[in-house]
Amino acid sequence: MSLRRVVVTGIGAITPLGSTAPAYWEGLAQGVSGAGPITRFDASKFKTRFACEVKNYTPDDYFDRKEGRKMDLFTQFGVIASDEAIKDAGLHESGVNKDRVGVIWGSGIGGLTTFQQESFNFAKGDGTPRYNPFFIPKMIADSSSGNISIKNGFRGPNFVTTSACASSSDSIVSAYNYIRLGMADVVVTGGSEAAITEAGVGGFNALKAMSERNDDPATASRPYDKDRDGFVLGEGGGALVVEDYEHAKARGAKIYAEIIGGGLSSDAYHITAPDPTGEGVVLVMQNALRDAGITPEDVDYINTHGTSTPLGDGAEIKAIQKVFGEAAYNLNISSTKSMTGHLLGGAGGIEAVASILAIQHGIIPPTINHFTDDPELDARLNFTFNEAQKREVNIAVSNTFGFGGHNTSVVFRKFRD
């Protein structure tokens, strides 16, 4: 069968750098850190006391009080990002067939804020089970896609992908496949996460996964730096409207970029640690390039997973060098997590937006907070350290990897008729 072309016609984001896609991009291009002391709860007794929070967030700015109370924070972020993308794409104004519009969203954890609060309330009580009637629908991960669908009346495919930190990228690849196979005309996709809670911070501290650089949060996320000591937790959401090209053309939609490939693989190695050989990451990028029908020489930019962990960063770079060979020295690499922190299941959503806007603007967002070269990493590679670089970007690859060994790569190309 003939596969349909898939294009991106809308974007949206709510992030630690800004609460709209343009504000987010401005922060990326300027190399701004979104990290600061945690304000959501008293973190004074935690090993890590900082994170990348969405700044000055008040649900009442987006939802009426009754509506907002029915949604966990991660769902609120998802609805906000998707609202922006849907408006940007002009879906409602175009009179699209809502039976053919789907919502495929990503979240690795779901309603952690709700689960924690209900557990606290029970523990403080007299043992009588008194739970909020919205506890379950707020907590479950698919409440995000469900709420987006209900709000907009989209009756096409609707589900959530959960694959830890690869969740959002998996949702984008799923949306891409549904459209190119003709199972939908339009899909709202991306992901969101809100895990800056006592349980989230405490759990990742117990894993020894997060930075403990409490004296200088703004420089704590240091991908590829010799002295990196773990990731910085972030929150928010990123959304894309992806669409069949002929459908977009018929309704006169603006087109940001084209999705031309997606790859998936598994490390099959360890529940939390990356395979130090990078074999699973090699496989996922090879799968993505093969699906896109391109060669390593065609790629201009890789938005890396780059979490700022000692093991993960090195494994990804080894994999890039193995897949791209000499072509690795001609492309730009950067980790935008150095600015946004790690949104876990929401990472792929905002990083897809970053990759698309890099293509749009011809600017590679930087990897900030580089102070000392890591002798284990090839200094000849262009990590785009500390400052954005101008470059024509025809093809960008976005990598995301998750606990459990989940690996996903998405390939975006500058749109041409």
Q: Do strands 395-402 and 406-413 pair parallel, antiparallel, or not at all (unpaired)?
A: antiparallel
Beta-bridged to residue 241, according to DSSP, are 10, 188
Q: What is the DSSP string of 258-319?
A: EEEEEEEEE--S-SSSPPTT-HHHHHHHHHHHHHHT--GGG--EEE----S-HHHHHHHHHH
361 is catalytic: no
Q: Pick from 107, 92, 20, 85: which is nearest to 57 by CA?
A: 20
- Provide CB contacts within 8 A for 85, sequence distance 6+: 10, 11, 12, 21, 188, 190, 239, 240, 241
CA-to-CA distance for 341 and 33, rounded, in angstroms?
Answer: 8
Specify whether 370 is catalytic.
no
In this structure, are residues 342 and 388 in contact, taking their beta carbons and an 8 Å threshold? Answer: no
Q: Rounded to an integer, what distance in angstroms lies between the CA atom of residue 334 and that of residue 241?
A: 24
The catalytic residue among 247, 342, 370, 406 is 342
Q: 323 with 296: CB under 8 angstroms?
A: yes
Catalytic residue among 52, 247, 305, 370: 305
Measured in degrees and rounded to the nearest 5, phi and psi for residue 326 equal -65, -25
Cα–Cα distance, 148 to 76 (Å, whole number):
10
Q: Give 381's strand partners.
A: none
CB–CB of 59/80 below 8 Å?
no
| DSSP three-state, residue 192 | strand
Active site residue 342: yes
d(C-alpha 213, C-alpha 57), whole Å: 25
Decide: residue 130, CB within 10 A, 0-12 exposed, 13-18 middle, 19+ buried: exposed
Q: Which of 52, 165, 247, 406 is catalytic?
A: 165
The DSSP annotation for 211-273 comes to ---TT-GGG---TTBTT---B-BB-EEEEEEEEEHHHHHHTT----EEEEEEEEEE--S-SSS
Catalytic positions, please? 165, 305, 342
